[in-house]
Structure 1
Amino acid sequence: MKIQVDEKMIDTDEQGFLCNMSDWSKEFAEEIARRDGIELFVDHWELIGYFRDYHDENQRNPTMHSMVRTLGKSKGSRFHDQKAYEKHIYDLFPTDPIHELCKLAGLPMPPPDT
């Protein structure tokens, strides 16, 4: 499947995951979010950035557990309870946060059990 982002045609699979991770851009994420009915705010972008950084450092996608453990307790976070932070993530991405974040961050599709 091809998605037009600005003047460039980007190859994705049927679910919108990039075929080539180097095609990722902020504009790509915005187009995917638009198609998926998500309005991106600061908290969304922070999570997208976290996913991209995590993947760069670990060569794998983060899990919900690693994300909640790391970001929910990070310095300056308004969440001190991991369950409250996980609820916040589900408020941002109600259906499947890990799946949606991987797609928006231009990462491979996560395995079904994450």
Structure 2
Amino acid sequence: MRHILILICLFFVVMPRAYAEHILIAADRWCPFNCEVGAELPGFMVEVAQRVFSDHGHDVEYIEMNWSRAIQETRKGNINAIMGGFKSDAPQFIYPQEELAVLGNSFFVRKDSDWTYEGV
């Protein structure tokens, strides 16, 4: 059975703060998508968000927190967005039409190996 997990870059909860000049994005660390806060290379999704929103006059702040708490705080309106999630994590959130990245699982073996994947 082939599983392809769709990785969502950003999704926003509809709220007045979503259009503020300061955008607060939270996630748990999942490098290379979102890495250590304040690092020279904070993760490509953080960099994309900062670049896209700064071009439109917004300041993006990325903070790290437990994934469940990040979802909960976004639902409450204390955080504008979370990044690196799946639709199944928060199906009521708004998602972009196109993913920034797609995540899949693969197995590789040597050509002379007789090992085959037989399920979980």
Scaled by the length of structure 1, the TM-score of the pair is 0.32
Higher strand share: 2
**Structure with larger Rg:** 2
Q: Which structure features the higher share of helix residues?
A: 1
TM-score computed with the length of structure 2 as normaliser: 0.31
Q: Which has the higher contact order (CA 8 A, sep 6+)?
A: 2
